[in-house]
Amino acid sequence: MRFEIKYIVPVYQLQLLREMIRPFIRPDKHVADRPDHQYTVRSIYYDTPDLLFYSEKIEGVPYRLKLRIRSYDQAWDKAPVFLEIKRKHMVPMTKDRAPLPYGLVRDIFGKDKGLQYAESFLKPKQLEDFSHFMYHMKKESLVPTVLVVYDREPYEALIDPSIRVTFDKSLRSAPKPDLTQLFSEDLKPVMENHFILEVKYDREYPEWMRLIVHQLGLKQQAASKYCMSIDNHPYLLRMKNWQWILSGKRPLADV
C-alpha cells in the first residue's frame, strides 16, 4: 500500500517551493532530460450514470475505487495507455494498471472487443488487471465521464527514491469524452491560480517535507482532480440528479 498526501498551493509559491525542496530531491528519471522537467498527464475517468464514484468521494466513503484510462504526451496508435483501477483504503491506496497500445484500446472500447485481443500484449498480472477493469466496466455500467489533463513536475527523494513529490499544474478538463478525445486540448481550466502538491510514500512522511509545508503555511486537504473537474462542469451534476430522480433517489439539494 502507498500513502498520498495533497496540498493546494498558490502559483506564486511555486518557485519558492522548488528552491526549498531542491536539497532533498532530484527530477524523476522520466523528465531528467527535459528542460521544463514536466510531462502532461491525460485521464478519462469512468463513473456510473448517477456518478456513484464521485458521490462516494464527496461523502468520504473509506473504501472506494476509481477507473480511468491514462496516457501521457504521445498521441499515436502505438503509444502506451494504461487501464487503471485506483483503490482507496482509508488513507493508503493501491493501483492496478494494464498497459496497451492506444489504437488497440480504441478498438476494444469502440467495437466491444474482449479479453482475447489484449492477451498477446500483457503479462499475467497485467492481464488480470485488465480483466478486473473490464469486469467493473460491465458490472457497474460505467461510462466516460470527464477528461482530466494537467502538467506534472515530478521529483524523487535523494535518500529514499520511493518518496515522490509532484507539482500538478494547469489542471483542465472536458465533459463526456470518448477515447478519440484523449489528446484533445479543447479544455476548460479548473484552477488557474493554484496547483496541487502531492507527497507519496510507502513508510514514513519525510520530516524535511513536513518542515517545508509548515513554513509555507500549507494544510493537508482533499484535492481530487476528478471531483474538481466534475464540479467544473455543472451540467454533469444536473445529469446526476436526473438519474437519481429516475431511480427514485433524492437529488442533491445544492445543485
User: What digits encode the pLDDT tens for the residues 80-134?
Assistant: 999 999 998 776 889 999 999 999 999 888 776 666 778 888 999 999 999 999 9
Q: What is the pLDDT of residue 125?
A: 94
Kindly state whether residue 134 falls inside one of the protein's structural domains.
Answer: yes
Q: Which of 30-34, 70-74, 140-144 tops mean pLDDT?
A: 140-144
| Arithmetic mean of pLDDT over the chain | 90
Give the global pTM. Answer: 0.91
Please report, rounded to a whole number, the percentage of residues in the chain having pLDDT higher than 70: 91
Q: What is the CATH number of the domain that holds 37?
A: 3.20.100.30
By DSSP bridging, strand 93-101 and strand 63-71 are unpaired
Per the domain annotation, does 255 fall within a domain?
Answer: no
In this structure, is residue 193 part of a structural domain?
Answer: yes
Name the one residue in this structure whose C-alpha cell is 498527464.
41
Domain count, the chain: 1
More confident residue, 248 or 95: 95
Predicted local confidence at residue 232, as pLDDT: 94
List, in sequence order, the alpha helices (H) in the chain: 14-21, 52-59, 102-110, 124-139, 207-215, 225-231, 234-246
The pLDDT score that the predictor gives to residue 75 is 85
* Residue 143 forms part of a structural domain: yes
In a domain, 141, yes or no: yes
- Note the pLDDT tens digit of each residue in 1-35: 789 999 999 999 999 999 999 999 999 998 989 98
pLDDT tens for each residue of 154-172: 999 999 999 999 999 999 9
CA distance 78 to 20: 39
- pLDDT at position 245, please? 40
Asked, for residue 39, whether it belongs to a domain, the answer is: yes
Question: Does some domain include residue 11?
Answer: yes
The pLDDT of residue 251 is above 80: no
- Interatomic CA distance for residues 26 and 165, integer angstroms: 10
Provide the pLDDT for residue 206. 97
Asked if the structure places residue 83 within a domain, the reply is yes
pLDDT at 151 over 80: yes
The domain in which residue 12 lies consists of 3-246
Cβ count near 3 (within 10 Å)? 14
Residue 250 in this model has a pLDDT that exceeds 60: no
